[in-house]
Amino acid sequence: MADWASRLREWGVETALPFWSERAWDKRFGGFLESLSLDGQPVTGDTRRVRTQARQIYVFARAHHAGWSDGLDLAVEGFELLERRAHAPDGTPGWVHTLTASGEIESPARDLYDHAFILLALSWLHRVTHDSHYRQLADEILIYLDTHLTRPQGGYAEAIGAAQLPRRQNPHMHLFEALLAWYDATGDQTFLTRIEAIYQLFSTRFLDRDAGVLYEFFDADWQVTADPAGAVVEPGHEVEWIWLLHAYRDHGASVDETILEFLHAHGTGIGRNRGTGCLVATVRPDGQTLDAGSRTWMQTEWLRAAAARQRAGHRSAGTELETVCDLLFRHHLDPAIPGGWIDQIDASGHRVADRMPASTLYHVLGAVVDAHRADTEVAESAAKVL
């Protein structure tokens, strides 16, 4: 375990974070760039997704909290600029969906996925600064979701001012993650109540226990859409839910172990490309592959799931961690400029990506955090033996 963990932690802390600290910020207009070229140069003129801004704020705030980066000023400045540009700039509540490169509103839609990541960013800003302004903004977002996006069938509408169908599990998964972060930061039980509501939606609507799969798309009543396109499974999300549910269980929640097992079995079994070894993008519930290509984030989430399983006592997880870490480096990290990644490969393992999306850094940091945790636990165990 220490080998994979030390390798990934060293790459993340010593190479990736300094690389992105120097290149992530738009020196002309301010804010975080959407992507870099494969040789590490800024890609300018792209639409700026609010979720990407929030993810980068989270990265630099959390890295500062861990003592790996002096990027707190970058996180704070990034949020101040985002708040000015995207927080109700048109006079209506909520945060807009996208901005132009120079900071004007491009899409005024209110998107659940965006708000989930703003909440995540706010949780870490609050944790490292103890500034009550961040908690006030988080409470405001939750009131906004309750008032404008809550739906009687359960959960939240995916958007206001944009397509509301199909309904999707993914934004709710990230809201689950953000609420866990807020509970960790504050200990406020009201966050656990909200988390439990999403868990109930997950376990009764998103999951098909008979088929042993997690669905992505639904109609307005949370039924898998009749169109065959609705019966889509993303193995990357199946494994992402594994570590999230382990984190929830660590807070004393009751999580059905059979759910964790069939998510792992399907995600890393049917959901795996036999040629590259990586998780594939999408499959049918019966295992028919729809897109056998892969992206960096899928392997980082698989690694986090394996790390959670190891902490829970699964004996095979140590070997799995070595395997996933090797796949991550072989296909995505080693072929790239130091500190970057080849974000997408095709079914044969050939490079598809022509740039490095900045939003992937959020996923990468999560894997580095778990690598550091594993390395620390090994060192502590060795010290006890001595």
Contacts 24+ apart (CB under 8 A), 27-30: 29/101, 29/102, 29/103, 30/77, 30/81, 30/103
Q: Which residue has the tokens 């997880």?
A: 317
pLDDT confidence bin for 377, thresholds 50/70/90: confident
Kindly report the average pLDDT of the chain as a whole number.
94
Whether the pLDDT of residue 228 is over 90: the answer is no
> Which residues sit opposite 218 in a β-bridge?
167, 224
Q: By the 8 A CB rule, do 282 and 266 touch?
A: no
| CA 349 to the chain's CA centroid | 23
Grade residue 379 by pLDDT with cuts at 50, 70 and 90.
low
Indicate whether 1 pLDDT > 80: no
Determine the 3-state secondary structure of 246 from DSSP. helix
With cut-offs at 50, 70 and 90, classify the pLDDT of residue 380: low
Q: What is the pTM of this model?
A: 0.96
For 117, the token pair is 């990541």
What are the φ/ψ torsions at residue 51 (nearest 5 degrees)? -65, -35
User: For residue 209, what are the contacts with CB-CB under 8 A and spacing of at least 6?
Assistant: 258, 259, 262
Q: How far is 54 from 118, CA to CA, in rounded Å?
A: 5
Rounded to the nearest angstrom, the gap between the alpha carbon of residue 76 and the centroid of all alpha carbons in its chain is 20
Question: pLDDT (tens digit, 9 = 90+) per residue, 173-198?
Answer: 999 999 999 999 999 999 999 999 99
Distance CA 252, CA 12 (A): 31
Of the candidates 261, 319, 328, the one whose C-alpha atom is nearest the C-alpha of residue 298 is 328
Q: What is the pLDDT of residues 98-128, one digit of tens each?
A: 999 999 999 999 999 999 999 999 999 999 9
Residue of 41, 67, 88 whose CA lies nearest to 358: 41
- How big is the chain by its Cα radius of gyration, in Å? 20
Helix axes 317-328, 296-311, angle to 10 degrees: 160
pLDDT of 163 higher than 90: no
Query: Confidence class of residue 231 from pLDDT cuts 50, 70 and 90?
Result: confident
State the DSSP string of 301-348.
Answer: HHHHHHHHHHHTT-TTHHHHHHHHHHHHIIIIITTSSTT----EE-TT
Contact 199, 249 (CB under 8 A): no
What is the bridge-based pairing of β-strands 48-49 and 98-99? antiparallel
Euclidean distance between CA atoms 220 and 223, whole angstroms: 7
